[in-house]
Chain A
């Protein structure tokens, strides 16, 4: 297995969303304070989705970096069968990884729950992967195949606290949706005019591409003996 020094080769633009605001708010929080949360996540994976780690057992030495680009920290997944770990860090500095996955948090959650197709997301360039493609593909398949339902996982973790916290979560979810819509409105107000110009340019470019393709076809037909 090959390891690479991990650097942010191309920044992925984070979407203008409540997660981005939460990320700004979380910036002063030291990652070690967040570590118990991710220890809990790994405990849930071991208890409720052992098949994920089983499907990754062919890669016991893998070190996968997960970079939610709208949050001020990164995660390191080490799926070693005896002691799997999910570690939170400020960034990837001074470390080597087998592979790195970068994308907005909402996209990573949607992929984990199988709500989006991983290939389609990657091919549309919303997600960036670097390093060992085999490990990333194995992780994608393992997570997708587990049939994860984040709501149910959180409920199982919280036990008797699940019901009251779910109510809070529902209210929080509605607030999040509302905030997302409001922020989208602000974004459109700020960049709407510029986007109109880009749309017009895109349409003109598509027209030109079509004309070039037609010209090429007729040229090829003329060249034929």
Chain B
């Protein structure tokens, strides 16, 4: 399927070459992906791309009018930035369309070594103010900022008027607590940092234990949740744990709910958003194809001046529930 002429880009996840092909075939304008190491924030086992697979993926996407962005969005270990530098160099060499960065030092390295390479600011940089985004633009020539999921649509519109870069926002998928790039909950439970090692709640520390008709999920030896018979289970991240406090069993930080902004996409476009990002590089190609196809239809409908159709995506959302998150802040 050829990429559309829509005013917004659909930026879609690819954890594997098969997911990349599924995303492009389903109508993605761009796919974003990572190398098979700790340089990206989805460093999960069996996932991500070798250099050869990236070269093939770039060729596949470009031949169909699509683009490829490479996320190099973790923070280099002190004194050992080599693999992060190599990732930037290889991405540039293999002809990707942009790299997505979070670390100041890496932004500086990429801007100096590869002045023609398009730089995007990762959500991991947690830049939510006009001053911060302007700084990244003026210092390193950042062309696009992926906004943290903490802003309302009207705040995004205000930000858009004040910054000289494109804005990209998440429109679907898993949600984090509102401290992207700064969260240490997983580090506390596992000793591994999502921001440096690239995996929140690494699978090496996850256990599912069957107890009768219940499933207990654990992270780093901590019980995160117990799911009753027939109750949808979830991945054990601390932020979505169900704990007892003051005699009540409850989700203390946030409930396992997925972001879905299908109903507010027109407002996002009116607010000046240039790109819609779908979360889920760790999900399979069936998920990628399904979500990308749905959002392609929605974005194309909006471009034609029509109302986006309703899409049934509950089955693939976390906890089977959806929210428009901070974009609407309906809890206030």
Contacts and interface: CB of A to CB of B under 8 A. Distances in A.
A141 B18 contact: no
A80 to B, nearest CB: 16
Given A10-B213, A116-B286, A138 B18 contact: no
Contacts of B232: 123-125
Interface in A86-133: 111, 114-120, 122-125, 128-130, 132-133
A117 B45 contact: no
Given A10-B213, A125-B232, A145-B18, A56 B46 contact: yes
B204 A134 contact: yes
Contact of A145 (B15, B206, B207): B15
Interface string B274-298: 0000000011111100100000000
B76 interface: no
Nearest to B232: A123
B208 A130 contact: yes
Interface in B116-149: none
B17 A145 contact: yes
B234 A138 contact: no
A147 to B, nearest CB: 4
B230 interface: yes
B85 interface: no
Contacts of B283: 117-119
**Residue among A111, A114, A115, A144 with max Cβ neighbours from chain B (10 Å):** A144
B38 interface: no
Interface string A131-151: 011111111111011110000
B14 to A, nearest CB: 10
A144 B45 contact: no
Interface string B1-45: 000000000000001111101100000000000000000000011
Nearest to A148: B18
Given A117-B287, A144-B285, A145-B17, A123 B212 contact: no
Interface in B205-226: 206-210, 212-213, 215
A133 B230 CA distance: 21
Contacts of B318: 123
B212 A10 contact: yes
Contacts of A144: 16, 18-19, 284-285
A122 to B, nearest CB: 7
B215 A117 contact: no
A-B pairs, 8 with minimum CB distance: A145-B16, A141-B46, A138-B46, A138-B45, A147-B18, A117-B287, A134-B203, A133-B206
5 contacts: A55-B46, A118-B283, A123-B318, A130-B209, A138-B203
Interface of B: 15-19, 21-22, 44-47, 202-204, 206-210, 212-213, 215, 227, 230-235, 282-287, 290, 315-316, 318-319
Interface of A: 9-10, 51, 55-56, 58-59, 111, 114-120, 122-125, 128-130, 132-142, 144-147
Given A128-B210, A133-B208, A147-B17, 13 more contacts: A111-B284, A114-B285, A117-B283, A117-B284, A119-B283, A120-B316, A129-B208, A134-B204, A134-B206, A135-B45, A137-B203, A141-B46, A144-B16
